[in-house]
C-alpha cells in the first residue's frame, strides 16, 4: 500500500501485488458538510488500519523451504533475497539479490547472533571465533562460518534457526517496501 497523495482533504491509496502491479486504487476526499468531516476522517483512518493489518497477515513466508533444512545458510539468505526482490516487483539482478542478502546477513548477525552471544559474554561477532580466526569478506560470504560458530557455542541449531526465520519473516513487509521504494 502506498499513499500517493495527501492534501489534508484528499487521499489516494494504491495497493500493489507481489509483482508490483496496481490491484487497488482508493481516492478519498472530504467534500460535503462540515459535520461529516470527523466521521469521514475516522472511516479513512480505519480503512488504512484494516489495509495495514491485511498486509501483515497476507505477507507470504519468504522462504520456500525452511532455513533450518538449508544445507547452506548463506544460500538460504540468497534465496530469501531473491524472493524479496521479486516480491518488491522490481527487476531481479544479481547485484540487488546480493545486496539484500548482505543486509539480511548483517541484520541477523547483529540482531540474532549477538543477542544469543550476550549469554556467553560475546559482544562482537568476531568474538564467536578464536582470536585472529574470523573470516574476511561480506556478511553473506562469511555467514556459514559465523552460523557454525554460533551453533557450536550454543550446542544446537533449532533455537537459532527459529530466531533467524522469525526475524526475517517478521520484517518481510518492511524489507519488500524498502526494496520497492529503493528501485522503483
pLDDT of residue 19: 59
pLDDT of residue 23: 75
Model confidence pLDDT, tens digit, residues 96-116: 999 999 999 999 999 999 999
Among the candidates 12, 32, 58, a domain finishes at 58
37 and 106 fall within a common domain: no
102 and 12 fall within a common domain: no
42 and 120 fall within a common domain: no
Whether 33 is covered by a domain: the verdict is yes
86 and 118 fall within a common domain: yes
Model confidence pLDDT, tens digit, residues 7-26: 556 667 777 665 566 777 77
Q: How many domains is the chain built from?
A: 2
pLDDT of residue 175: 92
With residues binned 3-state (H G I as helix, E B as strand, rest as coil), the percentages for the chain, rounded to 5, are: 60, 10, 30
Closest to 67 measured CA to CA, from 56, 58, 59, 79: 79
Model confidence pLDDT, tens digit, residues 59-80: 555 556 578 889 999 999 999 9
102 and 167 fall within a common domain: yes
84 and 157 fall within a common domain: yes
Whether 64 is covered by a domain: the verdict is no
Indicate the burial class of 98 (C-beta count within 10 angstroms; 0-12, 13-18, 19 or more). middle
- For residue 17, give the C-alpha cell: 501485488
Cell 472530504 belongs to which residue? Answer: 30
End-to-end CA distance of the chain: 14
Whether 95 is covered by a domain: the verdict is yes
95 and 174 fall within a common domain: yes
- For residue 101, give the C-alpha cell: 542478502
Please determine, for residue 49, whether its predicted confidence score (pLDDT) is greater than 80: no
155 and 98 fall within a common domain: yes
pTM above 0.95, yes or no: no
Bridge partner list, 11: 6, 28
CB 100 within 8 A of CB 81: yes
pLDDT of residue 9: 60
Please determine, for residue 93, whether its predicted confidence score (pLDDT) is greater than 70: yes
pLDDT of residue 24: 73
Please determine, for residue 4, whether its predicted confidence score (pLDDT) is greater than 50: no
pLDDT of residue 5: 46
Whether 143 is covered by a domain: the verdict is yes
Distance separating alpha carbons of residues 118 and 114, to the nearest angstrom: 6
Range of the domain at 89: 73-183
More confident residue, 137 or 7: 137
Amino acid at each position: 500500500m502506498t499513499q500517493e497523495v495527501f492534501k489534508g482533504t484528499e487521499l489516494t491509496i494504491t495497493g500493489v501485488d507481489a509483482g508490483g502491479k496496481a490491484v487497488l486504487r482508493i481516492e478519498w476526499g472530504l467534500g460535503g458538510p462540515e459535520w461529516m468531516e470527523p466521521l469521514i476522517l475516522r472511516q479513512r483512518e480505519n480503512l488504512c488500519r484494516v489495509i495495514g493489518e491485511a498486509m501483515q497477515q497476507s505477507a507470504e513466508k519468504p522462504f520456500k523451504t525452511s532455513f533450518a533444512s538449508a544445507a547452506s545458510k548463506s544460500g538460504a539468505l540468497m534465496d530469501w533475497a531473491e524472493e524479496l526482490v521479486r516480491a518488491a516487483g522490481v527487476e531481479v539482478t544479481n547485484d540487488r539479490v546480493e545486496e539484500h542478502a548482505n543486509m539480511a546477513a548483517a541484520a541477523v548477525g547483529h540482531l540474532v547472533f549477538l543477542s544469543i552471544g550476550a549469554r556467553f559474554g560475546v559482544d562482537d561477532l568476531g568474538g564467536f571465533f578464536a582470536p585472529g580466526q574470523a573470516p574476511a569478506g561480506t556478511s553473506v560470504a562469511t555467514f556459514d562460518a559465523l552460523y557454525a560458530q554460533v551453533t557450536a557455542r550454543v550446542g544446537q541449531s533449532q533455537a537459532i534457526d527459529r530466531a533467524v526465520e522469525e526475524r526475517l519473516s517478521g520484517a518481510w513487509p518492511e524489507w519488500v517496501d524498502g526494496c520497492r521504494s529503493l528501485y522503483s
